[in-house]
Structure 1
Amino acid sequence: MVLSDDALALLRTSIRSVWALELLLLLRRDPARDWSNDELVRELRGSEVVVQEALAGFLGAGLVAALADGRHRYHPAVPVLDQWVGEIAQAYASRPSAVIREIFAAPGNKVQIFADSFRFRLND
């Protein structure tokens, strides 16, 4: 997978699931559109909780803007963030399994923590 170190760091720290990546890419496809949480839930067939968690992470990373009416839009705080998201989008289009592996391998990923809890240690 060809991602710059910065794009890989963004992927590992700010995109906690494949669903969150799909949400971010949806927002990025139409950056002029303001989305309500309900519209995002319907569009991606997700849950309100998952949408809220993903949007909160994206807000913290400076990838989306929250509008006064509760809607959100893709609006990276600095242009380089859009460049990194673009790298991630290209990698996901060409090698989705590699991107998915990186998401699940990210430190603090709940799925990875759960899976690791079932690993046997050699000294046990």
Structure 2
Amino acid sequence: MVLSDDALTLLRSSIRSVWALELLLLLRRTPGRDWSKADLVRELRGSDVVVQEALGGFLGAGLVMALADGCHRYHPAAPILDQWVEEIAQAYATRPSAIIREIFAAPGNKVQIFADSFRFRLND
């Protein structure tokens, strides 16, 4: 794999979709900017629900901070988190299909769970 074990764990646990990864990378590219949910929806042409879900995951992982006015900003709780996000960003830039496969292979990924429901089992 193109990622360290720690970066891979961060990817699998906190980035649930390619869209969420794009959102995180946008926030990272603009570290001094405070983003409202409406700005993020507009910028990435997403939905409010998807933005809210992604931001919730990022907050839980310590990658962004929520401001009193409801805006969010990229602000990793520890420098190592930013290093892992940088590792993910570089891998996504050079080997996007590998990163996309890891996102969809993550345990608990809704797309993977849905796809697995159609698999035939030998004992069935």
TM bucket (normalised to shorter chain) is: over 0.9
Residue in 1 that maps onto 2:74: 74
Residue in 2 that maps onto 1:6: 6
Gaps of at least 5 residues in structure 2 are: none
Q: Does 1:52 align with 2:49?
A: no
Cα-Cα RMSD: 0.5
Q: Distance in 1 between matches of 2:112 and 2:85?
A: 23
Amino acid at match of 1:113: I
Gaps of at least 5 residues in structure 1 are: none
Q: Distance in 1 between matches of 2:33 and 2:123?
A: 55
Q: Distance in 2 between matches of 1:105 and 1:86?
A: 21
Amino acid at match of 1:91: A
Q: How does 1:37-48 map to 2 (within 5 A)?
A: 37-48=37-48
Q: Given the two structures, how large is their TM-score scaled by the length of structure 1?
A: 0.99
1:39-72 per-residue CA deviation (whole Å, 9 max, x = no partner) reads 0000000000000000000000000000000000
Instruction: Give the total of aligned pairs.
Output: 124
Identity %: 87
Amino acid at match of 2:89: A
Q: Distance in 1 between matches of 2:55 and 2:2?
A: 26
Amino acid at match of 1:52: Q
Q: Given the two structures, how large is their TM-score scaled by the length of structure 2?
A: 0.99
TM-fit CA distance, 1:122: 1.0
1:47-103 per-residue CA deviation (whole Å, 9 max, x = no partner) reads 000000000000000000000000000000000000000000000000000000000
